[in-house]
Amino acid sequence: MTFAFDEREPADIPDDLEKRRYSPYRFFSAEEWSKFRADTPLTLTADEVRRLRSLNDPIDLDEVRRIYLSLSRLLSSHVESSQLLFEQRQRFLSQSFEAKTPFVIGIAGSVAVGKSTTARILAELLSRWPSSPKVDLVTTDGFLYPNTILRRENLMDRKGFPESYDTGALLRFLSAIKAGQRNVKAPSYSHLIYDVIPDEFKIVDRPDILIFEGINVLQSRSLPADGKIVPMVSDFFDFSIYIDADENLIHTWYINRFMRLRQTAFRDPDSYFNRYASVSDDEAQAIAERLWNDINLKNLHQNILPTRPRADLILQKGEDHLTKTVALRKL
């Protein structure tokens, strides 16, 4: 018997002791988790946290202390263990000329749940370890097919679904990263124009740590009958994190963010969503509800939420958008 999270419920502490006994995770309240930070120093300032957080995300220094310092310490131990294993293998193979490949951290979760904030906060904390590791952050947005292709294939309303991504390019990128190649190109994406930016790339040059963030990064794939190799994005991860919250909360956060963007980014004449800035509040609310129900909720149910049990660690958020429970996969 194994325990899997019910897709209709948040990844909270199981009430049933029998379920907790057979769960592959250990569960901690935010207060319990905060104690694991030990003497990990707080290297971010309040101003830096405000700069790093996304729109409508209330994360502050207290949340960094409660959740992210312990997480940074945990990841540090994983990176150090990976380096030790690499050195042991080098001795086993009598080799000393190869460089250690990047430690890749995958971050998944729904839209509007706070993935980008988590990724940016972690990238800053990890880069400020005493060893000063080189940390890069890449999102999957750049691996979406350009809008011209999505329109041609009638996929604009499926943007963010697995079929809207250039999976081949995504896998080639991660393969090159894990092969230790230099100057690997990651395509760039603009949320202003809601499209991939032609001929613009982020260069990833052998970082010590790569954070790879996107809604479907833990997605599995159908296996071919002929036994050919079919890698999945998560095959390249050394550690994975899923940002979770109750579906109704994510819905509220999505609608609130949309309405807030009408007063900010959507007012830019170059914004793809500029047309929504001039409609009435009632019309905007109806549009946001339609986008949520017809696109984002379907994607959450069909593709994102089912990947949650594949994560090494789950951050469960509460109504205040702050973490209330941490689930850590047992070793």
pLDDT digits (tens, 9 = 90+) for 53-98: 998 899 999 999 999 999 999 999 999 999 999 999 999 998 777 8
Residue 279 lies in a domain: yes
pLDDT in the model for residue 17: 64
pLDDT over 90 at 101, yes or no: yes
- The DSSP output letter for 75 is H
Residue 249: give its domain's CATH number: 3.40.50.300
pLDDT in tens, 271-298: 999 999 999 999 999 999 999 999 999 9
Domain membership of residue 204 (yes or no) is: yes
Q: Is residue 10 part of a domain?
A: no
Mean pLDDT rounded to a whole number for the chain: 92
Q: Are strands 195-204 and 184-190 parallel, antiparallel or unpaired?
A: antiparallel
The owner of tokens 């984002």 is: 296
The predicted structure's pLDDT at residue 265:
93
The total domain count for the chain is 1
pTM exceeding the 0.85 threshold for the entire prediction: yes
Q: Provide the CA 62 distance to its chain's centre, in angstroms.
A: 21
Are 209 and 135 in contact by the 8 Å Cβ rule? The answer is: yes
Q: What is the pLDDT of residues 212-225, one digit of tens each?
A: 999 999 988 777 77
Q: How far is CA 202 from CA 62, 96, 116, 145, 240, in A?
A: 32, 30, 17, 17, 22
Alpha helices of the chain — where are they, by DSSP H? 17-22, 30-34, 46-52, 61-63, 69-92, 115-127, 147-152, 167-178, 247-262, 281-291, 297-299
Cα 288 to Cα 281: distance, rounded to the nearest angstrom: 10
If DSSP codes are grouped into helix, strand and coil, which group holds residue 244? strand
Share of the chain above pLDDT 70, in %: 94
* pLDDT the model gives residue 16: 63
Q: Does a structural domain hold residue 13?
A: no
- Residue 131 located in a structural domain: yes
The dihedral through the CA atoms of 237, 173, 125, 84 has a sign that is positive
Task: Find residue 326's DSSP bridge partners.
Answer: 28, 315
Rounded average pLDDT over 319-325? 95
Q: Does residue 2 belong to any structural domain of this protein?
A: no
Report the amino acid identity of residue 18. Answer: E
- pLDDT reading at 3 higher than 70: no
Residue 126 within any structural domain of the chain: yes
Distance CA 69, CA 19 (A): 29
Q: What is the mean pLDDT of residues 195-216?
A: 97
> Residue-wise over 94-130: b if at least 16 C-beta within 10 A, else e?
eeeeeeebbbbbbbbbbbbbbbbbbbbbbbbbbbbbe
Q: Which residue would you say has higher pLDDT here, 264 or 229?
A: 264
Domain that holds residue 101: 20-329
**Do the domain assignments include residue 149?**
yes
H/E element, 109: strand 103-109
The residue type found at 132 is S
